[in-house]
């Protein structure tokens, strides 16, 4: 099964990455390549929208974890929204969910982003 990737710039250096299809040994390199183009020292946050993702393999989970680690090294945030039950179960079984911010939907993630930006602006003015 193929993987469709749609990247949307939400705000300056805040991205939503919608994953549709299957993130597995045949498709993970596509995602890695796309992420290399948007992750840099200015990136503030990335949100993976998993609503249309039907399947994730261990290599797909590795990409998610590596993305979170890369962003953390740059003091950037990472989160996921709209996890399908079968995807959420895999993350729960591997005890990965506590280390990743999970949002119910994009509205909740947007509120988090807005607060994060307000906090950042507040730090610069003090």
- Kindly state the tokens that stand for 108: 């909740």
Q: Write down the residue that tokens 């840099």 correspond to.
A: 40
What CATH superfamily is the domain 3-125? STAS domain (3.30.750.24)
28: tokens are: 């993970």
For residue 69, the cross-strand partners are: none
pLDDT at 126 over 70: no
Average of per-residue pLDDT values in the chain: 87
pLDDT at 37: 92
Q: Which of 24-38, 54-68, 75-89, 90-104 has the lowest mean pLDDT?
A: 90-104
Q: Please write the tens of the pLDDT for every residue from 17-58.
A: 999 999 999 999 999 999 999 999 899 999 999 999 999 998
In three-state secondary structure terms, 5 is: strand
φ, ψ for residue 15 (rounded to 5)? -125, 145
Q: Is the dihedral of CA 94, 100, 102, 107 positive or negative?
A: negative
């Amino acid at each position: 099964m193929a993987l469709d990737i749609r990247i949307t710039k939400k705000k300056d250096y805040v991205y939503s990455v919608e994953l549709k299809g299957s993130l597995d040994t045949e498709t993970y390199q596509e995602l890695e390549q796309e992420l290399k183009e948007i992750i840099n020292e200015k990136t503030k946050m990335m949100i993976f929208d998993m609503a249309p993702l039907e399947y994730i393999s261990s290599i797909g989970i590795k990409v998610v974890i590596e993305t979170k680690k890369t962003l953390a090294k740059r003091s950037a945030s990472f989160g996921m929204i709209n996890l399908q039950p079968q995807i959420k179960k895999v993350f729960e079984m591997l005890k990965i969910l506590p280390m990743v911010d999970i949002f119910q939907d994009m509205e909740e993630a947007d509120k988090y982003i807005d607060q994060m930006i307000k906090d950042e602006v507040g730090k610069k003015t003090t």
